[in-house]
Amino acid sequence: TAALLALICGSLSKFALDITLMMQTEVGEVSEPHDEGRGGSSTMPQKRNPVASEYILAATRAVHALVPVMLGSMIADHERASGPWQSEALALPQCVALTAGALAQARSIAEAMTVDTERMRRNLELTGGLIMAEAVATALVAAIGRAAADAAVARACDRSIAEGVPLATVLRIDPEVRPHLSDAEIDRLTSPALYLGSAGAFVDRVVARVAALG
């Protein structure tokens, strides 16, 4: 039971840590639900701290620390152990309470967090399309082979960085790439919105399972 609760908290803490990182001013892609006074600072009134995520992370650390206590209770002396099993009564209720709290906080975030899609798009565009280099190289493999495709795209990336121009611009004038990719293909390959893979299917699967729980 304690190990299961620790696994649940581990999954919740991954979610919470991502929310915390994405709430940073420099990223600003999502934020926890905000009410007046929530997550504020005594010295910096503009701050909105990820208080729910912080609780989840703190609870997870505590639950993970209690699991060894539960495992240690397996090592018992004779028929009635002198201490090991008694420690279960101290550790397990804390695991249950902390996990319940973490789940409640995670639900509060999921139900009302703010997502800034425009900020996400701006962040994706910071590299001028370099984030999509893998997609371009993969598309070239059929025409020129893996090694040549990787080398050609690497050189295009180097030029994009050195000249401070978008990767798509370099690809359109690159003598190794241009014969194999049209303008429309380059636009498609350098668009992050068209490179989501199976993410949509995974999200739909999770939403359907949650809805079935009712």
Q: Which residues contact 14 (CB under 8 A, 6 or more apart)?
A: none
Is 13 one of the annotated active-site residues of the chain?
A: no
The catalytic residue among 11, 38, 53, 80 is: 80
The catalytic residue among 41, 61, 182, 205 is: 41
Is 80 one of the annotated active-site residues of the chain?
A: yes
- Kindly list the catalytic residues: 41, 80
